[in-house]
Amino acid sequence: MKIDIKDLQRGWKEYTLRNDHGMAVSLLNYGGIITRVKVPDRDGTVENVIIGYKQVEEYETNPNFFGALIGPVAGRIQGAAFELDENVYRLEANDGDNHLHGGSNGFHQVLWNSEPIQYEDRVGVVLSYSRKDDEGGYPGTVDVSVTYLLTNENELILEYKGVTDQPTPLTLTNHAYFNLSGNGKRTIHHHHVTIDSHRFLELDEELIPTGTAMDAADTPFDFRKGRLLSDGITERTEQNDIAGHGYDHYFLFDHSRSESVTVKEQMSGRVLTIKTDQPGMVMYTANNLQKGLELHGGTSKKHMGVCFETQSPPASLHHEGLPPVVLQPNERYQQRTVFTFSTDK
């Protein structure tokens, strides 16, 4: 196992983690961005299975959040404001009237402190950052670290930690767009997905959760027995239409299985399993991805990747009964998500 380090522009570094079985993960200290994940298919052909820019400089703005570390709050905050302890905090409205993914200066735009780590059975990088009180409109000085680890079991492990000196919302995720066909050869229509969830959050026309957890049974949102992503892309239900013909919804995990998500791509034989201690995730099927961006393996188009954004829901800032996102000074934010790659013979 080894780590390669490449120095790039303005203090950027690209770390490439390699294990002994042909898997490699590349990431930047800028934005915590995963730029490539290379894994073998059933025939042993190693290809990239996430969507990313061909030119690394394009990540400086990265409006699609390709591979990015998202925070301090992943997802949309209704009305770009929230109330906490009788104080109203107003944030940047960077998505219509709402606040998205920490704003234009969120964690995806931060040059993180980075430290490579290497053990006998895993290699990785620890990213750390101290957010100042009122930065981006959020209360509290928050010290955050995110560890990316690659094991010889073809596991990509993301460990998130944070502490604060004031009550503050904090829910982090990674915004990688997966495409198991390899090098973006096909869209994700025929990715077969299983999700340990029987409820999802209803969205309004602005993609803001209404606070209602809908029963997924007998809808294209019921993935408990597995289904193709094309079901929701082509089905004309109101919720799929609102999302732009696909999914952009928060799924509440049942935690009845050890694996929260399983993804299979039949032609390549690649399988992705996701285990997490997060209460749920946003699954986004790149419904709004524009055409013509220069990416690894070709140019972008709609439905070219699928994101599994494991996190707590920011809708809990406005609606009761949902997993909370507010971190208290006497608490420690600590979450873990494991992406494991294999093949189905």
In whole angstroms, give the CA distance from residue 60 to residue 77.
Answer: 23
Count of CB atoms situated within 10 Å of the CB of 9: 9
Count of CB atoms situated within 10 Å of the CB of 167: 16
Token pair belonging to 187: 């869209």
Q: CA-CA distances (angstroms) from residue 192 to 106, 269, 318, 340?
A: 32, 11, 33, 16
Active site residue 191: no
In whole angstroms, give the CA distance from residue 325 to residue 79.
Answer: 17
Tokens 């029987």 belong to residue: 198
Specify the DSSP class assigned to residue 282: E
Q: What residues form DSSP beta bridges with 47? A: 39
Specify the DSSP class assigned to residue 10: G
Active site residue 309: yes
Secondary structure element (H or E) that encloses residue 159, with its range: strand 155-164
Count of CB atoms situated within 10 Å of the CB of 320: 7
Determine the Cα angle at 231 with ends 227 and 235, to 5°: 155
In whole angstroms, give the CA distance from residue 175 to residue 177.
Answer: 6
In whole angstroms, give the CA distance from residue 286 to residue 246.
Answer: 8
Catalytic residue among 99, 175, 192, 198: 175
Catalytic residue among 14, 47, 265, 309: 309
**How many CA atoms, within 13 angstroms, populate the side-chain half-sphere of residue 86?**
0
Secondary structure element (H or E) that encloses residue 120, with its range: none
Count of CB atoms situated within 10 Å of the CB of 201: 22
In whole angstroms, give the CA distance from residue 137 to residue 140.
Answer: 10
Instruction: Enumerate the active-site residues.
Output: 175, 309
